[in-house]
Structure 1
């Protein structure tokens, strides 16, 4: 999601199609990113009068260190190659 939004702002349906996930699941993740202040959402009215919810990245920086990498690594799951 962050990589897609880094390219340009996207509206929810467009982002869901590009990521291949449902809009309800996308909203769940976007809400968490918004709560963390990594993205912001807002409404725009299209030329045909339809309200569209857009999301874009808020500028941010994360210091990469060994503690952060260890925490991230511990949350990963490794799939069995035979699956």
Structure 2
């Protein structure tokens, strides 16, 4: 994946308020999926959709843990990150791939 694609994926992951809330919650501690869904007041399937997008962007990671009764429990935790973006960093991105993709999409 190129620099522009990675940047777009990161911005896409951060573009929904629920995903930002997920990150804020996970910044405090790792959470079990069911508990995180309860805290945020959303369904587990909806939470999983948001977590998949955050995980694909490299912002969170999931792991399975067995409970005392042998039940598999999925936990998520934040991956340490720092986001810094300046005009100079944007100018240094190789945009040729993005331009070629845009040209191909607009071709008849």
Q: TM-score range by the shorter chain?
A: 0.7 to 0.9
Unaligned runs of 5+ in 2: 1-21, 88-108
Q: Which has the higher helix share?
A: 2
Deviation of 1:65 (Å)? 5.1
Counterpart of 1:6 in structure 2 is: 27
Name the TM-score, length of structure 2 as normaliser.
0.58
Deviation of 1:31 (Å)? 0.1
Misfit runs of 4+, over 2 Å? none
RMSD of Structure 2 on Structure 1 (CA):
1.2
Q: Secondary structure at the match of 2:64?
A: strand
Instruction: Report the CA distance shift for 1:65/1:21 in structure 2 as closer, same or farther (over 3 A).
Output: farther
CA deviation digits over 1:3-45, x for unaligned, max 9?
Answer: 1101111010000000000001000000000000000001000
Counterpart of 1:56 in structure 2 is: 77
User: Number of residues paired by the alignment?
Assistant: 66
Measure, in 2, the Cα distance between the counterparts of 1:49 and 1:2.
Answer: 28
